[in-house]
Amino acid sequence: MTTQPWTATVLSIFPEMFPGPLGHSLAGKAMERDLWRLAAVNLRDHASDRHRTVDDTPFGGGSGMVMRPDVIGRAVDAAREGGAQGPLLYLSPRGRPLTQSRARQLADGPGLLALCGRFEGVDERVLEARGFEEVSIGDFVLSGGELAAMVLIDATVRLLPGVIGDAYSLEEESFSGGLLEYPQYTRPQVWEDRQVPEVLLSGHHERIRAWRQAMALEVTRRRRPDLLGEMTGHNPRTVGAAQPSADPERG
């Protein structure tokens, strides 16, 4: 029995937007190698009238239109019958924030189904009836869920086995250990009178590791102290009190 590659199924009224950026760089190359697959479903194909209507006016009044539950319900059911697997995700600014740990959970599964909302949103009944998980990529509003779905899929696909050649690099990234990533440097060694920190030129792996850990803590303390508050054994008021050299905030 052949195992199907990790598959992202996207429900949208603009399926032509996909793969878009997902067809390039790491995600695109991985798709060419069949490490993952993308299925874009046109929600209008599941409308019941000749105009292929997917929305209607909201009960209770108000501006804008709301996406119909019957159309979305049929689209979800058809996708499931077609073999689509994984959790149902609705990209919404009121959803739980997307995190690196959630992306890893999704990468460990068989795939996902992402609903891209438009207009004023989606009828609440279909979200409840089909068990959608609402996911947000930030505290802002987009014109639709397609770009958010691409962000979600890209964040997940890059964690799939074989997509990134150096698996160790994933362990060094921001959020992988609860911290933001330490600053990176490359050639030239001196640029506009700014030098690469000496410790990185020392060749002493343990000193470099310790410096990077200290810098990751310091950058996180300054920019995202909320992350430190979530880590066991770290106090955002005291972590990073010992200032490491070459502070990136001071240049």
Could you tell me which residues are annotated as the binding site for S-adenosyl-L-methionine?
117, 137-142
CB contact burial 27-45 (16+ within 10 A = b; e otherwise): beebbeeebbebbbbbbbe
Chain centroid offset of residue 9 CA: 15
Of 113, 103, 112, 114, residue with least CA distance to 160: 103
CA distance 70 to 119: 16
- How many other C-beta atoms lie within 10 A of the C-beta of residue 125? 13
Collapsing DSSP states into helix, strand and coil, what is residue 219?
helix
User: How many Cα atoms are found within 13 Å in the side-chain-facing hemisphere of 222?
Assistant: 15
74 exposure class (CB count in 10 Å sphere: 0-12, 13-18, 19+) = middle
CA-CA distances (angstroms) from residue 56 to 51, 77, 191?
Answer: 12, 21, 59
- How many other C-beta atoms lie within 10 A of the C-beta of residue 185? 14
Question: What residue type is 183 in one-letter code?
Answer: P
Binding site as annotated, residues = 117, 137-142
CA distance 100 to 22: 18
